[in-house]
Structure 1
């Protein structure tokens, strides 16, 4: 019999993270909205590298924060907006400019599957308040204005047709159509957030719409939840679990509840004892930023390194793409997705369905990073940041057969003290880690 949740914290705390979320390891985040029309933000810092203060918000590298960056009244985005569109051009004027002639959800979903993603999370409403789904609670949505279609529904169907899980992002605590003062320091995300019970009800009702209409496998709330509606959270989350048995939620509910924790670039906390998720863009922005060209985003090698280091330490990687306004996925982003898929096609056994090993990641004296995952009694060893050509690595406290997952790796191994020395004679891989299986090695 299906478990039922009764609208209390006690009931919710009995919820367990579903196996599929532990198994999947790699997902695609999608930030696409009105902000994709101006497609601009300065290239500054990763989140968490510098204090999140007025200087951060005036120089915000997130293109999806375009509305707020202009509203701050100074900084590169403000200057760009005045120069490009004029001082009287309002953010809402981008609605009529947003055409999605090249939006092909089936092609998007096919690309995500080729990339090796097991789940997708799409932004349904960002902080600017424009909804990518038809909502009976506002006409400020993509069915009524701009694209004139259910962008969320179309992709949801396409993703599920490719055998992947579909999740939805919702900006719970922020909607700049309800609260107009600019965010200029970190605490403003809560103290200047939509302060009315009217908005709390709006966020609650729209969340129910998303749950009831799309049954998302992930309900991904951003920043926090309206303080005026905190008392309704136990029922909302119970309603979600009762309608989506495989459902899972993140940790952005004012510290009150979570299934998994989140890291965003260098901001947030994670540990190997609790499930977590790394989410970030390929560059410094989530929304499409036209000046973040190929040389300004992560290399293929660094992207795969991020996947390996995240998974080996009990995390999932939710890697963002920022489509252009017309629905085109930038070539430089597509290139990285396909390269990840190529690596996973060979080495995915060391990623999918694995768990965090008792062995912690380490760096060999040669500089090679060593990461581990496990699957029942089998151990997987992944060597990252490897040099070109021949090299050797010692794996301590290990014995038994070692088998490379890539048959283009030429190697041998021998006992070395209480461990094993792996000798790589040559490898043709130019992207990412080299993975080995050690049957019974865990």
Structure 2
């Protein structure tokens, strides 16, 4: 995940290093490794698409609507934002320049030397989880492993983990315990699938004096388990090489992510991309689902991934995730937006979303049968920048009044109305909503109309005009949540509602509409 241009993402290292890098690319030659026996817990699911398509999203996820994600790890240390571990090895990129100036040349001081600097010395998972719950989150997702190949749990198969070094604490385990104590469902994210090719630049070298031809530290065999042995398979084109074709790495991924699933029994597992590695990935998902049934007596697990042209995606077998974007209209199946209030990892240069933007996005997503998974940015030490602190305070105040229009709701016949519509697709989340933009949710016989801004004077809802085909009947009462009943008129043009001059909450208001 990053805010860099597509050209930088796809071709950054090779453009920076020139034709010499391209000349070193050769096909992978690893011998096939068979899928181990016994990798799927007993149950109704197996590693075929046909089996997984019988999946049904559990009610807890459909009711939750809002989750908070800690997209956090060693890459927060340099304060430069997302994808630092990759671009610190790309000459000409700002991350490379920062690393050279701050830590030294990556042939001598590489990413392995950033990891010990991540101490998380001010991290208080219990206090943070209390604030997340108060802000309306019904599930919490911990980073499990990012593309930097550093496990944030007590990994059985990887020495580069947060218990052995860095914080020297089980980050995933401590987040899980806090989430359970505060009644939140718990999830983990894995970005390991793409790590093999994503991190290819650490195997290269400078083409500039005085380090011309000097290998980066990723070429040192002593650190091959961190940096991968992938000198012949770069990450050039997302569709062709987001995931490696190396079957040995597929099995390593399965072993480590199964350890994560078995050790922490998450309610949700997120992969950053499509489902990795064909049958190997399906094996892991089947194991996740069957393990959930064995543990709870019913299928409670959710698997998120992207329909992004990489890996597999079949909408009946998992929950679609749309990074920094939305789907068009009301989707028949539950889905999820993952986004952040700033950069994915803390950056001194990051621009933050306002509370109003977050709440407008949340209402738009929920009206379309989606959930929002929101990363709330943390400093490397575990504390929060002022923008994250203020956001949680604002969300808590808004949810204290308006949560009933979000949690446990379902879409109405229409998702909404107004002059503004978000563009469908990933990385297209920017929309300038106003109080004239309305989004609808329902709970039982009650209809909620959420204004995506602060209304003033009279709010008009055309979809609820007298005789409208979408209306269930005549409007007999309207309440402004937090303020009580308000005056209204239902005409052939619109439902006109007089809102008080002093609103009960900032940023967005909720009208509770009763029909007969």
Query: TM-score normalised to the size of structure 1?
Result: 0.86
Maintained 8 Å contact 1:404/1:434: no
Maintained 8 Å contact 1:67/1:128: yes
Maintained 8 Å contact 1:391/1:425: no
Match of 2:482, SS state, is coil
Maintained 8 Å contact 2:482/2:504: no
Could you tell me which of 216, 220, 241 is aligned with 2:289? 241
| Closer/same/farther in 2, CA of residues 269 and 182 from structure 1, 3 Å limit | farther
Q: Quick one: distance in 2 between partners of 1:64 and 1:349?
A: 35
Q: What corresponds to 2:361 in structure 1?
A: 306
Q: Quick one: distance in 2 between partners of 1:279 and 1:147?
A: 26
> 1:104 Cα shift?
1.4
Match of 1:277, SS state, is strand
Match of 1:71, SS state, is coil
Tell me if 1:383 matches 2:454. Answer: no
Aligned Cα root-mean-square deviation (Å): 2.5
Could you tell me which of 188, 195, 210 is aligned with 1:168? 188
Q: Quick one: distance in 2 between partners of 1:268 and 1:310?
A: 8
Shifted more, 303-312 versus 427-436: the winner is 427-436
Could you tell me which of 109, 130, 145 is aligned with 2:129? 109
Maintained 8 Å contact 2:440/2:450: yes
Q: Which runs of 5+ in 2 are unaligned?
A: 1-41, 200-226, 293-298, 421-433
Tell me if 1:278 matches 2:333. Answer: no
Q: What corresponds to 2:88 in structure 1?
A: 70
Q: What corresponds to 1:319 in structure 2?
A: 374
Tell me if 1:345 matches 2:420. Answer: no
Match of 1:137, SS state, is coil
Query: TM-score normalised to the size of structure 2?
Result: 0.74
Could you tell me which of 208, 218, 224 is aligned with 2:258? 208
Maintained 8 Å contact 2:341/2:376: yes
Shifted more, 94-103 versus 268-277: the winner is 268-277
Tell me if 1:232 matches 2:280. Answer: yes
Could you tell me which of 403, 407, 419 is aligned with 2:482? 407
Larger Rg: 2
Cα distance per residue 1:176-219 (max 9 Å; x no partner): 3224689775x247526444222111110111111111110111
Q: Which consecutive aligned stretches of 4+ in structure 1 deviate over 3 angstroms post-superposition? A: 179-185, 192-195, 224-227, 266-271, 364-367, 407-411
Q: What corresponds to 1:15 in structure 2?
A: 55
Tell me if 1:438 matches 2:513. Answer: yes
Maintained 8 Å contact 2:398/2:505: no
> 1:361 Cα shift?
1.3
Match of 1:402, SS state, is strand
Q: Which runs of 5+ in 1 are unaligned?
A: 41-62
Tell me if 1:158 matches 2:178. Answer: yes
Match of 2:69, SS state, is strand
| Closer/same/farther in 2, CA of residues 93 and 181 from structure 1, 3 Å limit | farther
Q: What corresponds to 2:460 in structure 1?
A: 393
Maintained 8 Å contact 2:340/2:374: yes
Maintained 8 Å contact 1:30/1:121: yes
Tell me if 1:140 matches 2:160. Answer: yes
